[in-house]
């Protein structure tokens, strides 16, 4: 009782404070912009362009079909790699769960190896194996994301209700029917968590993979801007990635996660 009372008191104190959390966050943003503008006046434009110049470059970006095409290609790389990594990771986790003889191979060899090797390493190897192109980018991103899928899906499979599975077997359901009707619906929260984490990580890897091994996309555009000392474009690319990931996470993933939480809580 004392703990809950103190919690309510602290929440009330925060709500009654003259400077709320949102105001404080906005003030911090304004201070960062002011500091940026002041410092940009003291250094050459190729080192750090000012906010106004970057804003103009951002407007040019969203009105340029060529630049938007690079954005679409990067989105395609990320979505395809997330799907590939999930399918591979889920298959390996399911293999280890269904046949214990493969558990050490999957969880003791494949997953630790993939989890410890860097995205740059996979990109450089993919350039040697596949050359510059979409295949290199997809391979590098998928290799980094696969262990996330293995670990999350392993947790989901180990969390399944054994009594429910035994009941399905006793009623004569085939393994494939049980997988489709029982296992997959129970694993949906773990699947969604895998997609959400992989989406954010994929953008970090995609920029590196496209930078070294791609011939299109944000990373490729990033490389061109670096060669031309177009720092404004570099900042615009970074800003677009941050905004896009935030918007998708806030307005797509977060509402779906809340609905899944409510659905499984009722179940």
The residues near 132 (Cβ < 8 Å, ≥ 6 apart) are: 213, 214, 215
The residues, ordered by sequence, that sit 6+ positions from 94 with a Cβ below 8 Å of its Cβ are: 153, 157
**pLDDT at residue 119, rounded to an integer:** 87
pLDDT of residue 173: 60
What percent of the chain is predicted at pLDDT more than 90? 42
Q: Predicted confidence band at 206 (pLDDT cuts at 50, 70, 90)? A: very high
pLDDT score of 141 more than 50:
yes
- Residue 172: per-residue pLDDT: 56
| Helix locations, 134-230, DSSP H | 134-158, 162-170, 175-178, 184-213, 218-227
pLDDT for residue 3 is more than 50? no
More reliable by pLDDT, 116 or 167: 116
DSSP state of 10: H
Query: Tell me, what's the pLDDT at 103?
Result: 93
Fold of 58-266: MetI-like fold (1.10.3720)
Q: 5-30 pLDDT, tens per residue?
A: 454 554 445 455 555 888 888 899 89
Q: Is the pLDDT of residue 1 over 50?
A: no
Who's near 199: CB < 8 A, 6+ residues apart? 78, 82, 245, 248, 249, 253
pLDDT grade for 213, boundaries at 50, 70 and 90:
confident
Do 146 and 82 contact (CB within 8 A), yes or no? Answer: no
pLDDT at 142 over 80: yes
CA angle 224, 226, 228 (to 5 degrees): 70
Residues 63-92 pLDDT 10s: 999 989 999 999 999 999 999 999 999 999
pLDDT at 175 over 70: no
Of 51, 29, 28, residue with least CA distance to 39 = 51
Pair of tokens at residue 185: 């619906």
Domain ranges of the chain: 2-42, 58-266
Question: Residue 138 pLDDT > 90, yes or no?
Answer: yes
The pLDDT tens digits for 98-109 are: 899 999 999 999
pLDDT (mean) for 121-130: 92
pLDDT above 90: residue 198: yes
Give the mean pLDDT of the chain: 85
Residue with tokens 């000392």: 229
Residue 191's CB: how many other CB atoms inside 10 A? 17
């Amino acid at each position: 009782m004392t703990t809950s009372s103190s919690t309510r008191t602290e929440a009330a104190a925060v709500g009654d404070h003259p400077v709320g959390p949102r105001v404080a966050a906005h003030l911090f943003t304004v201070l960062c912009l002011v500091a940026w503008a002041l410092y940009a006046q003291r250094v050459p434009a190729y080192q750090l362009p000012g906010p106004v110049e970057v804003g103009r470059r951002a407007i040019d970006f969203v009105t340029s079909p060529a630049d938007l095409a690079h954005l679409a290609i990067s989105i395609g790389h990320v979505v395809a790699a997330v799907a590939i990594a999930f399918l591979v990771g889920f298959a390996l986790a399911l293999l280890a769960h269904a046949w214990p003889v493969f558990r050490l191979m999957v969880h003791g060899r494949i997953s630790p190896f993939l989890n410890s090797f860097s995205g740059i390493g996979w990109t450089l190897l993919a350039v040697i194996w596949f050359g510059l192109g979409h295949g290199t980018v997809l391979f590098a991103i998928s290799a980094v994301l696969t262990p996330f899928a293995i670990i999350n899906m392993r947790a989901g499979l180990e969390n399944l209700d054994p009594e429910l599975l035994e009941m399905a077997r006793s009623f004569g359901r085939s393994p494939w029917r049980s997988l489709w009707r029982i296992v997959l619906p129970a694993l949906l929260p773990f699947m969604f968590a895998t997609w959400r984490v992989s989406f954010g990580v994929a953008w970090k890897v995609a920029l590196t993979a496209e930078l070294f091994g791609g011939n299109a996309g944000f990373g490729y555009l990033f490389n061109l801007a670096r060669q031309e000392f177009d720092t404004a474009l570099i900042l615009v690319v970074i800003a677009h990635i941050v905004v896009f990931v935030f918007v998708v996470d806030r307005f797509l993933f977060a509402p779906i996660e809340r609905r899944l939480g409510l659905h499984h809580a009722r179940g």
